[in-house]
Amino acid sequence: MPLDPLKNIRVILCETQHPGNIGSAARAMKTMGLSELYLVKPHLFPDKQADWMATNAVDVLRNARVCADLDTALSGVVLAAACTARSRDIAVPAVSAREAAAQLVAAARTQPVALVFGNEVSGLSTEQVKRCQMVTMIPADASHNSLNLAAAVQVYAYECRMHATDATVPNKARELASHEALEGFYEHLEQELIATGFLSTKVPQRLMQRLRRLFSRTQLDAEEVRILRGIVRTLREPKNRN
């Protein structure tokens, strides 16, 4: 168990357009004790502008991991929060930044977790949000609720630090299933539901999105995923227990 759960929290920036925002985000992270920066297809990185804006957090940039896709950046993560400024057509409501931070820190005491941010123009895509187990928003004023990327990172980093340094919070946490295990389960479930005729191949994503949200609310552990995959397997191959 790590002494500092903040070291188990990844900040993932997806397709960031301006390198200065990457540097500012790195600075925001370091001021709150976060250091794990992952960049998914940044438009320009490394870059001097990023270094300038990072100030004394250039080491965070130097250790940043550049990934070809979000699945790679989420490898090994057990709980990912999609940070968004706009409402989504999803099966569960978004939680506040404070509530998301509490759940992330609790899991980060034993396993890697992630905060996932979209680019400055369009934010996270529906496909990227689908890869996360939680959707979260900063409860800003409704008339002007869009924050600069680095400012949003700062808010979440602060909330995580507050929960991580709260001595009244218990240190025990469940061992959750990894991103890879969950994605394997969802793929297996979709294939079997299509094969049995329950899921239409014309519009499968709508139902699968709701099923993802259903299971995400439970925060499955590794053993539960194995049990569910065994159940799904019997949809086409029933076991004779007599």
The DSSP secondary-structure symbol of 147 reads P
45 residue type, one letter: F
**pLDDT tens digits for 193-233?**
888 888 877 666 778 888 888 887 888 888 888 899 888 88
Q: What is the pLDDT of residue 90?
A: 58
Q: What is the pLDDT of residue 43?
A: 96
CA dist., res. 214 & res. 60, Å (int): 35
**pLDDT tens digits for 158-167?**
999 999 998 6
pTM of the predicted structure, to 2 decimals: 0.81
* Confidence at 240, pLDDT banded by 50, 70, 90: low
What average pLDDT is seen over the chain? Answer: 88
In the numeric block, which tokens belong to residue 219?
């925060």
Position 63 pLDDT exceeds 50: yes
**pLDDT tens digits for 143-177?**
887 789 999 999 999 999 999 998 666 556 677 88
Of the candidates 53, 220, 210, 190, which has an alpha carbon nearest to the alpha carbon of residue 130? 210
Domains of the chain: 5-164 (3.40.1280.10), 179-233 (1.10.8.590)
Task: Identify whether the C-beta of residue 159 lies closer than 8 Å to the C-beta of residue 169.
Answer: no
Q: What is the pLDDT of residue 88?
A: 60
* Confidence at 81, pLDDT banded by 50, 70, 90: very high
Q: Is the pLDDT higher at 50 or at 235?
A: 50
Q: What is the pLDDT of residue 204?
A: 62
Sheet holding 95-96, edge to edge: 65-67, 36-40, 9-14, 113-117, 79-83, 134-137, 95-96
Q: What is the pLDDT of residue 1?
A: 44
Of the candidates 5, 8, 6, 15, which has an alpha carbon nearest to the alpha carbon of residue 149? 15
CA dist., res. 105 & res. 161, Å (int): 9
